[in-house]
Every structure is written in structure tokens, then in C-alpha cells.
Structure 1
Amino acid sequence: MRALLQRVHHASVVVDGKKIGDIGPGLLILICAMQGDTTATADQLAAKIAKLRIFKDDSGKMNLSLKDSGGSALIVSQFTLAADTSRGNRPGFSPAASQEHGRRLYEYFIQAVIALGITTATGEFGADMDVSLTNAGPVTIWLDTNA
């Protein structure tokens, strides 16, 4: 699985003019299931994200995890993270999991994050979404379970 994490002061997602997800301080998690990913992959990524120490402690150092900081997660599916730009100027998305498998892993990943005790909001799988955020730092981190 691939994820792009953005530490945020605030993030929200709107579908068809209606706000469906909204968080305060925490992480915007853009997530893509790749071919060959499994529920074990989703569990591994959820655990890594929950423990990643990218939030400031009282000394201003990045020593706290999402869970330690009390932050929330806004999880948004984004198959374009699978973009293959190695040939030509039009990205290919064949490395992404099929839509059906991607949806199952997206929903599983959300439940895995919730099970870790993190307050979670979500986007809508496969929808055309407007995502807004105020990046904190900025801190943006790319995670790939196959790397």
C-alpha cells in the first residue's frame, strides 16, 4: 500500500457540496491499495502510521505519534498514488489494485486505524472529492509498504 501523510492543523473532504469528513489536528492520510496488497499489508501500514513520531512534544521536537498527540486521522482513497510515469507524459495506473479489491482494503485500513484507538474521519471511495487542509510544518511523508 502507498500512503501520503500530511500533518495538519485541520483537514476536510467534501463530496457533491456536502462535507463528509472533518478533523482538527492530526493526519490527512491519502491511501492507495496496490496489486498484491493484503489485509496484513493494511495492518502493517496502519500500525506504522499510528506509531510514526512526527508530532511535536513540549520541547518542539518531533517525538510524539498520532496516538500520543491525541490527533485524528482523515483517510482519503487516492488511486493516483499508483501513478506510473516512466513512459510518456500520461500516467498509467495499472500498479493499483482493482477497484473492488482497493475498496475492500481501503475499508479494512480504516477499521485497522480505528482499532488502534485513533479518531477517524473518511472520504468516499471512488468519489470526486474536494480535500482541504492546513498543513502543519509543513510535514509530508511518503510511505510505501513495497519499498
Structure 2
Amino acid sequence: MRIVVQRAKSGRVLVEGNVVGEIGHGVVLLVGVTHDDTMDDVNWLAEKVVGLRIFEDENGKMNHSLLDVGGSILSVSQFTLYGDCRKGKRPNFMAAAKPEQAKELYTQLNEKMRSYGCRVETGIFGAMMEVEIVNDGPVTLILDSH
């Protein structure tokens, strides 16, 4: 499982012009699932995301977690994170999990992050989405459970 984490001042997802998920201060997650991901990956990444110390303390140091600052999560499924661009000009998505498996693990990830007390907003799995992110910093990290 692979997640791009962006610390955000705000974020929102639109589907067909309608806002389906929106947050203020927090993180925007772009989430990709691969074939051999399991609940172990979900659990590890959920704990990692809510515990990452990427928010500034009173001294301007990245020392606080999402839980410490009461931030929210905007989670967006993104199979293209497993696009392989090593050969040719067109990405190969063979490493991306099938939609049924990906949706199940993506849903479990969101539920696990909620279980830590985080507000989690989402896009719509499989939909064509517009994602608006006001990146804070910018701070962008890549987490990979493998």
C-alpha cells in the first residue's frame, strides 16, 4: 500500500461539480493499493498517518501529529500510484490491485484512522474526481508499507 501524504491548510474533492469531501487543517492522502496488501498494511499505515509528527510546535519545529493538532484527513483513492513508467511512454497499472480488493482495503484504512479519533472525509472510490489541495509548507511525504 502506498500513500502520498500532503500537509494541508485545506482540501476538497468534487465529483460532477459537487463537493463530496472537504477538510480544513490536516492532511490530504492519495492512497494506492497493490495485489499483496493486507490488513497488516492497513493497520501499519493508519497508525503511521495519525502519528506522523509533521505539524509545527510553538518553536516552528515539526513535532506534532495529526492527533496533537486535531487535524482532519481527506483520503482519496488513487490507483495511479502504482503506475509503472519504466518502459515506454504509457504507464502500466498491472501492480495496482483489482478494484474489489482495493476498495475493501481503502475502506478499512479510512475506518482504522477514524478509530483513532480522526475526522476522515473521502472522495468516491472509482469516480473521476477533482481534488483541490492547499498544501501547507509544502510538506509532502510518501509512505509505502512494503
Query: If the length of structure 2 is used for normalisation, what is the TM-score?
Result: 0.98
Structure 1 unaligned residues grouped into runs of 5+: none
Q: Give, in whole Å, the separation in 2 of the partners of 1:89 and 1:133.
A: 27
Q: Give, in whole Å, the separation in 2 of the partners of 1:83 and 1:69.
A: 33
Q: Give, in whole Å, the separation in 1 of the partners of 2:102 and 2:139.
A: 26
Instruction: Tell me the alpha carbon deviations over residues 47-85 of structure 1, each in whole angstroms, 9 at most, x when there is no partner.
Output: 011111000011110000111111000000000000111
Q: Count how many residue pairs are aligned between Structure 1 and Structure 2.
A: 146
1:143 equivalent in alignment to 2:143: yes
Partner of 2:127: 127
1:2-21 pair list within 5 angstroms: 2-21=2-21
Q: Give, in whole Å, the separation in 2 of the partners of 1:116 and 1:90.
A: 39
Secondary structure at the counterpart of residue 127 of structure 1: coil
1:59-138 pair list within 5 angstroms: 59-138=59-138
Partner of 1:35: 35
Shift of 1:86: 1.2
Q: Give, in whole Å, the separation in 1 of the partners of 2:28 and 2:97.
A: 21
Superposition RMSD in Å: 0.6
Instruction: Tell me the alpha carbon deviations over residues 18-54 of structure 1, each in whole angstroms, 9 at most, x when there is no partner.
Output: 1010000000000011110011211110101111100
Q: Give, in whole Å, the separation in 1 of the partners of 2:110 and 2:25.
A: 18
Shift of 1:129: 0.2
Structure 2 unaligned residues grouped into runs of 5+: none
Secondary structure at the counterpart of residue 28 of structure 1: strand
Instruction: Tell me the alpha carbon deviations over residues 81-105 of structure 1, each in whole angstroms, 9 at most, x when there is no partner.
Output: 0011111111101111111000100
Query: If the length of structure 1 is used for normalisation, what is the TM-score?
Result: 0.98
- One-letter amino acid of the counterpart of residue 127, structure 2: A
Q: Percent identity?
A: 44
Secondary structure at the counterpart of residue 109 of structure 1: helix
Show structure 1 runs of 4+ deviating over 6 A.
none
Partner of 1:52: 52
Q: Give, in whole Å, the separation in 1 of the partners of 2:133 and 2:88.
A: 31
